[in-house]
Amino acid sequence: MTNSLNLNVSGLPKSATLAINERYKELLGKGRNVYNFGLGQSPFPVPEPMRQSLMDNAHQKDYLPVEGLPELREAIAQYHSRVNDSSYTADQVLVGPGSKELMFLVQLVYYGDLVIPTPSWVSYAPQARIIGRHVHWLPTRGRDRWMLSAETLDAHCREDPDRPRLAILNYPSNPTGATLRPEELEELADVARKYEVVLLSDEIYGELHHEGEHVSIARHYRRGTIISGGISKWCGAGGWRLGYFLFPQLQGKLLRTLAVAASETFTSTSAPIQYAAISAFGGDPRIDAYLRKCRHILKMLGRYTVEVLDAAGARIPRPEGAFYLFPDFSRHRESLESQGIESGRALCEHLLERTGVAALPGEAFGCAAPDLSARMAYVDFDGARALEGYDEFTFRDRNDEDDFVEAFCPRVVEGVRRVAEEVGTWV
């Protein structure tokens, strides 16, 4: 029986993000004091106008067009025309049940190699493997905040300049929370243009840039950039499963081919969810206010947690968006090795055992197995309560920010402190 499984899939474990969540829940169920730094899920509730709209649209029962509900495609096109200072039309948008599914389909229909930086989100490479596509992992450096540099992309493309390639850039980044700076975007766009690389710009955390200053690489390389977005992160609606791709005008054929694959697989995205999602993109002032608060809370928490881990001796880029930390504990290699810990995976097991903090090893993001890095999602708090508390709070200085974090995100604070204490014993 098992011999008849497709070998591309049969050796693969369940996706690391989902597996760590199952593990966390299992330990919680057994009464263990575990801290949820595993799955990257927004702690904030879905904004009220979207929830109301979902209730109002519970009766929507028909299959919708494969490409998506026309009004939603229009709302997404207008939204991006506004925020990207450009002009997009509804026929450039493809809606799907999560951007993850669309990423799988684009890899299925696009002929070419997949190019991704190390580290990258856990699912890009396994999707390529399932499909049988070749993956090139490009190296990055700690001093570049683990972001891909234009020189590295250029050196890779130069080896075989005419090869068709799909490169995924994710910024703000999962797993680091760092993002690409304006000059880095320009330089990467120049290289992509030179070699006609198709860029899949995964901007799922764009709206969660802590300063609200996310810029898309599409500004510099519009004709070759597919923007990938969704409501999972900034609208706290991961379980709603709605994502989209925004194609450049030139890639109409790619969009149509993806729609064919979609029509033979998921048919169309859930109707009530699509109707409800329209309100996310309309510039509703209540959603803007919600987003401003979420960003500020994530920024305060990012600073606080980085300071704790940094003081303990971890090397760690400061998150500029999203809700991830990517500490590297290699300064403690000697001590860890003396305890038999020689890989990121063993490190995370050790942390879970000793501190109750559930995190993912860098290896899940393509780092070498011996790398002593981990991704910690700082999401273990009640986002609804934090948003309510935010309105009551006056933020004058850093002490107020720390007070807020300690009052409303106590599990995150306790989790990083426990890790810091544990690191303190690695001498």
Report the interface residues with ligand GLU, using CB under 6 A: 15, 17, 39-40, 100, 121, 123, 174
Q: Please write down the long-range contacts of 72-77, taking CB distance under 8 Å and 24 or more positions apart.
A: 72/274, 72/275, 72/277, 72/278, 72/281, 75/277, 75/278, 75/280, 75/281, 75/282, 76/229, 76/244, 76/246, 76/281, 77/246
Cβ proximity to ligand GLU: between 104 and 195 the closer is 104
Cβ proximity to ligand GLU: between 64 and 322 the closer is 322
CB of 123 to ligand GLU, least distance (A): 6
Beta strands in 45-164 (DSSP E): 93-96, 113-117, 135-138
Cβ proximity to ligand GLU: between 224 and 302 the closer is 302
Residues 359/375, Cβ–Cβ less than 8 Å: yes
244, β-bridge pairs = 95, 229
Cβ proximity to ligand GLU: between 121 and 275 the closer is 121
CB of 121 to ligand GLU, least distance (A): 6
CB of 401 to ligand GLU, least distance (A): 26
SS3 state at 291: helix
* CA atoms of 42 and 136, how far apart (whole Å): 30
CB of 39 to ligand GLU, least distance (A): 5
CB of 233 to ligand GLU, least distance (A): 8
Cβ proximity to ligand GLU: between 99 and 149 the closer is 99
* CA atoms of 246 and 72, how far apart (whole Å): 12
Q: How far is CA 165 from CA 28, 153, 250, 357, in A?
A: 43, 11, 16, 38
Cβ proximity to ligand GLU: between 123 and 343 the closer is 123
CB of 59 to ligand GLU, least distance (A): 29
Instruction: State the DSSP string of 382-396.
Output: -HHHHHHHHHH----
CB of 305 to ligand GLU, least distance (A): 17
Of 374, 378, 232, the residue nearest 302 (C-alpha): 378
Say how far residue 138 (Cα) sits from the centre of its chain: 18
Cβ proximity to ligand GLU: between 49 and 98 the closer is 98
* CA atoms of 138 and 115, how far apart (whole Å): 7
Cβ proximity to ligand GLU: between 294 and 341 the closer is 294
CB of 375 to ligand GLU, least distance (A): 8
CB-closest chain residue to ligand GLU: 40
